[in-house]
A and B are shown apart, each in its own frame.
Chain A
């Protein structure tokens, strides 16, 4: 069964450093998402991406964040200058063109900012 994959599974970084989280969505999906989950809190929407551009972003997704689809398979989330409060689990999700109700999530990247 096809699945969303994410790398790395864990990342530890120093405050102020840049990190890039990588995702490989399901191959025939065209809509891509990033969500985050701070420990003990809700899963929160960050950004949605379609046709090589951002379709929606939340208040959390400020100028420190960016997304890119550098090639036909990868989807990345970059945090330019990490803060302590960026420590969270980051989930990538994807969906097919015709099924807006079914987003499939990856296993997540646990980011720890020290």
Chain B
């Protein structure tokens, strides 16, 4: 069983739409969950992280973790063309020494 699974999309939405990006993970011992944004041929950029279950909000972005279902979500409100990128979910391994990434979901926001 893969440790972090993510639907690669692509996902296309009009400007202003609410976007929901999702991942599942396999190991219930994972505690830290991150969302990175990656533009084409660039390095991953940390958007936000959450610890254990719950929600975290940062401007138009909300990260949500449901540990009971091992489900990670990122919501983007009022999406903009500049949000067009690949979004990677990740978790920190139990030892805290390595990030485990999902495959990434490619998002395209059209104006």
Interface residues, chain A, with chain B CB atoms under 8 Å away: 4, 33, 35, 41-45, 48, 55-56, 58, 89, 91, 93, 100-108, 110
Contacts and interface: CB of A to CB of B under 8 A. Distances in A.
Contacts, number: 55
B43 A33 contact: no
A58 B88 CA distance: 20
B61 interface: no
14 contacts: A42-B101, A42-B102, A42-B103, A43-B99, A44-B101, A48-B98, A91-B43, A93-B99, A100-B32, A101-B32, A101-B92, A105-B36, A105-B45, A107-B42
| Interface majority SS (helix, strand, loop, mixed), chain B | strand
Nearest to B44: A105
The 6 A-B pairs at the shortest CB distance, nearest first, are namely: A105-B43, A45-B98, A56-B97, A43-B101, A101-B32, A100-B96
Contacts of A91: 43-44
A44 B93 CA distance: 13
B49 interface: yes
B39 to A, nearest CB: 10
Q: Which of the four size classes fits the interface of chain B?
A: 20 to 34
Main secondary structure of the interface of A (DSSP, over half): strand
Nearest to B98: A45
B79 to A, nearest CB: 23
